[in-house]
Amino acid sequence: MSHRIVSVSVRDVRFPTSLEQHGSDAMHTDPDYSAAYVVLHTACGLRGFGLTFTLGKGTEIVVLAVEALADLVVGKSLQDIVKDFRGFYRLLTSDGQMRWLGPEKGVIQLATAAVLNAVWDLWARAEGKPLWKLLVDMAPALHDCSIKTHLYSNIYYLSELFFFLSLLPEDRMMKEGYPAYTTSCAWLGYSDQQLKQLCTDALKSGWTKFKVKVGANLDDDIHRCRLIRQTIGPNNTLMIDANQRWDVAEAISWVTSLSEFKPLWIEEPTSPDDILGHAAISKALAPLGIGVATGEQCANRVMFKQFLQASALQFVQIDSCRLGSVNENLAVLLMAHKFQVPVCPHAGGVGLCELVQHLILFDYICVSASLSNRMCEYVDHLHEHFTSPVVIQNAHYMPPKDPGYSCEMLESSVQRHQYPEGDTWKLLMNK
């Protein structure tokens, strides 16, 4: 069957999470978790679902960017795309009139991710496999899908990769799942009481690794970190996340003041583009045993290459909707392996947990075969809107079984939350 793509639809879907301060941090104080939600329709009736994550109003711009890319997709067959997937990636990112908007960063890159996520979903559905399994089964052939341009050959030794094609890691994942940490106990806008209650409940459900938002006010951070450390105890893992709030010197002194709480990492201490700034922070905090984590706003593989080359991060946080879909994420997974830096994906948002679990399973089974210092983020919001929501057992992601990339939303949820015409928004606007 040819699976020719005959149309692309994209919708602006928003959830009013800011009402309860879910997702709030030092820079994003009123996030409405949202998605530009893409469906590829094929001549034979099979559909591919994809999305990229946004925070509210910006979604309308991403939707327009997806519409602009749609002409490059309509008329192509899945078979032609995957025969030269690298070429198709280049087609989307190198259009003579649109690449000026990026290239490969910002809104146009988010739109690329949404479209390509839908293509990967379509492919996995056509093969009747969950995406992670499609990747594992075709690991050697994936060289033709991933993006090598702008990566120096001295970094990107494909021949060294994919050592671990044994069945052992896959069996382990099927039995135990992939370890996760939780961010949903300690958003910046939560009260002390909420924070304590959520941590206590999470401990009872088996969570041992917690991330807390910091960066707005140092006294408040000391208070909240103390509270959370007292609640989770000395042996559980704590991470802190500043969402780019500081400049470099401020980051070093602020995190030094929080070092008594023994965070494993400081996430996004400064501008996501300041690679040498991250390197300086990494160097200054190393004696305190605190690493630097970043990536949720790292736009492309070239940036990651330099972060790795400059020893500017100790934890790579790939994002399934920020980078150019699976293609570009593969390149980053391989580079991280080459540099022996653990990958701890960014998830959360709406749908990010559903998507990125596939990538980290592939990373474990075919690339790293290690769980040392590795875990995948989890937040406990909005999974009920997906047809194949993540399954968490004892703080581990259990491998998804349904065909596809797990990004299909329930049509009823999409209609209710579509902006501005969905009932959820009509009700809020009429209040």
Ligand X SMILES: C[C@H](O)[C@@H](O)CC(=O)C(=O)O
Can you give the binding site for ligand X, defined by CB under 6 A? 23, 25, 28, 31, 55, 183, 241, 243, 296, 346, 348, 377
Interface with Mg ion (CB under 5 A), residue total: 2
- Least CB distance to Mg ion at residue 359 (A): 17
From the candidates 346, 358, 385, 417, give the one annotated as an active-site residue: 346
Q: Which is nearer to Mg ion, 25 or 354 (CB)?
A: 25
**From the list ligand X, Mg ion, none, partner contacted by residue 319 (C-beta under 5 to 8 A by kind):** none
Instruction: Report how far apart the first and last C-alpha atoms of the chain are (Å, whole number).
Output: 50
Q: Which is nearer to Mg ion, 267 or 274 (CB)?
A: 267
Q: Which is nearer to ligand X, 92 or 195 (CB)?
A: 195
Q: Which is nearer to ligand X, 23 or 342 (CB)?
A: 23
- Least CB distance to Mg ion at residue 377 (A): 8
Distance of alpha carbon 109 from alpha carbon 325, whole angstroms: 9
- Least CB distance to ligand X at residue 237 (A): 15
From the candidates 133, 213, 337, 385, give the one annotated as an active-site residue: 213
Is 241 an interacting residue with respect to Mg ion (CB under 5 A)? yes
Q: Which residues of 3-20 are buried (b: 16+ CB within 10 A; e: fewer)?
A: bbbeebebbbbbbbbbee
With CB atoms as reference, the residue minimizing the distance to Mg ion is: 241
Is 274 an interacting residue with respect to Mg ion (CB under 5 A)? no
Which stretch in 128-136, 142-150, 263-271, 406-414 sits in contact with Mg ion by CB under 5 A? Answer: 263-271
- Least CB distance to ligand X at residue 315 (A): 11
Is 377 an interacting residue with respect to Mg ion (CB under 5 A)? no
- Least CB distance to Mg ion at residue 352 (A): 11
- Least CB distance to Mg ion at residue 342 (A): 16
Task: Determine whether 213 is an active site residue.
Answer: yes
**From the list ligand X, Mg ion, none, partner contacted by residue 183 (C-beta under 5 to 8 A by kind):** ligand X
**Closest by CA position to 372, among listed 410, 340, 332, 331:** 340
CA dihedral 56, 215, 310, 349 (to 10 degrees): -30
- Least CB distance to ligand X at residue 396 (A): 18
Spatial contact of 349 and 33, defined as CB atoms under 8 Å apart: yes
- Least CB distance to ligand X at residue 297 (A): 9
**From the list Mg ion, ligand X, none, partner contacted by residue 25 (C-beta under 5 to 8 A by kind):** ligand X
Position 232, amino acid: I
**From the list Mg ion, ligand X, none, partner contacted by residue 31 (C-beta under 5 to 8 A by kind):** ligand X
Q: Which is nearer to ligand X, 55 or 391 (CB)?
A: 55
**From the list ligand X, Mg ion, none, partner contacted by residue 269 (C-beta under 5 to 8 A by kind):** none
Distance of alpha carbon 302 from alpha carbon 121, whole angstroms: 25
Burial of 278 from C-beta contacts in 10 A (0-12 / 13-18 / 19+): buried
Q: Which is nearer to ligand X, 3 or 346 (CB)?
A: 346
Q: Which is nearer to ligand X, 182 or 368 (CB)?
A: 182
Structure token digits, residue 277:
């700034």
Distance of alpha carbon 251 from alpha carbon 262, whole angstroms: 16
Spatial contact of 279 and 312, defined as CB atoms under 8 Å apart: yes
Which stretch in 197-205, 228-236, 238-246, 388-396 sits in contact with Mg ion by CB under 5 A? Answer: 238-246
Task: Determine whether 346 is an active site residue.
Answer: yes
Q: Which is nearer to ligand X, 28 or 262 (CB)?
A: 28
Where does this chain bind Mg ion (CB under 5 A)?
241, 267
Catalytic residues: 213, 346
